[in-house]
Amino acid sequence: MRGIIKFLAALLIAAVSLVSYWCNRQENEFTGETQHVDMTVEQEIALGLQAAPEMASQYGGMHPDQEAAAEVKAIGQRLVKSTKASQTPYQFDFHLLADESTVNAFALPGGQIFITAGLLKRLNSEAQLAGVLGHEIGHVVARHSAEQLAKAKLTQGLTGAAAIATYDPDNPSSRSGAIVAAMIGQLMNMRYGRQDELESDRLAVQLTGASGYDPRAMVEVMRILEEASGGSRGPEFTQTHPNPGNRIAEIEQAIQQEYPNGLPAGLIQ
């Protein structure tokens, strides 16, 4: 009898998780895609603003070089104002973090975008910086954070259901079923993360080109990131980001699709 009750409880949790995920669908006006999301745009903006100070503190706060910080903001705002990103409700702001050793850039929900001094000092041109910031803008307008939250809730619900269905308090070895279920859920979310990165690369090609920057600079950014990794990333399957070397081909293909007749003259390098 206890087994039947556990099975029914697990089935109910799984069903609620699936129905909730599939019913929360919205069309993204920027990308034209229909997405499973679990928060409103207003909630994304509020969450990003709330999280920004804590995230900055993890990287030593804001960089004291006001000139460099102003350059990051200026290039970021040019990318927004010159493209459809300006027509979105997101409140974009761009920040230079003080961390000189970490090579990273990231976007919070709602438009708060950060780049570390460790990455900025490795970049060699304005177009490369535009490529990095364009990639992060891509994450925001594609609503990747909202998608990831919805997927995480679905995964949590399904793995919880699996744990309830397989766990037997009289059989300690049954715990391994819950552990395996959790690992599968984690790997699922990693795969989604890699897809998001590739989509942001494609959006960055559009954003940089439309703003007057040469999108080919993103290829050099990938080479810089690959060099910075020092070959210590491990198998791509276990990473949330695609290997930088593998992203180059995707970027070159996106450039070809966006500019089938060749890039226009006069782009900022």
The strand pairing partners of 213, in sequence order, are 268
The strand pairing partners of 93, in sequence order, are 112
Task: Answer yes or no: is 268 within a domain.
Answer: no
Domain assignment of residue 223, given as a range: 2-258
Look up residue 129 and give its two tokens: 């910086």
Task: Answer yes or no: is 269 within a domain.
Answer: no
Task: Answer yes or no: is 267 within a domain.
Answer: no
Residue 186 predicted with pLDDT over 50: no
Q: What is the predicted pLDDT for the residue at 2?
A: 52
Rounded percentage of the chain residues whose pLDDT exceeds 90: 52
Task: Answer yes or no: is 78 within a domain.
Answer: yes
How many structural domains are present in the chain?
A: 1
The strand pairing partners of 32, in sequence order, are none
pLDDT digits (tens, 9 = 90+) for 203-227: 999 999 999 999 999 999 999 988 8
Once rounded to an integer, what is the mean pLDDT over residues 43-50? Answer: 89
Look up residue 77 and give its two tokens: 């705002």
Look up residue 235 and give its two tokens: 């198998």
pLDDT digits (tens, 9 = 90+) for 86-143: 999 999 999 999 999 999 999 988 999 999 999 999 999 999 999 999 999 999 999 9
Contact assessment for residue 193 and residue 142, using Cβ atoms and an 8 Å cutoff: no
DSSP secondary structure string, 188-246? HHHHHHHHHHHHHHHHHHHHHHHTTB-TTHHHHHHHHHHHHHTT-S--GGG-SS--HHH
Average the pLDDT over each of 114-118, 131-135, 243-247, 259-263 and give the range with the smallest value: 243-247
Q: Cβ contacts of residue 30 below 8 Å, gap of 6+?
A: 84, 85, 88, 141, 142
Q: How many CA atoms lie within 13 A of 125 on its CB side?
A: 16
Task: Answer yes or no: is 68 within a domain.
Answer: yes
Once rounded to an integer, what is the mean pLDDT over residues 181-210? Answer: 75
Q: What is the predicted pLDDT for the residue at 175?
A: 46
Residue 235 predicted with pLDDT over 60: no
Residue 195 predicted with pLDDT over 90: no
Distance CA 15, CA 233 (A): 37
Q: Cβ contacts of residue 75 below 8 Å, gap of 6+?
A: 94, 126, 129, 130, 133
Task: Answer yes or no: is 135 within a domain.
Answer: yes
Distance CA 121, CA 142 (A): 28
Q: What is the predicted pLDDT for the residue at 100?
A: 95
Task: Answer yes or no: is 123 within a domain.
Answer: yes
Residue 176 predicted with pLDDT over 50: no
Per-range mean pLDDT, top range of 12-16, 144-148, 236-240: 144-148
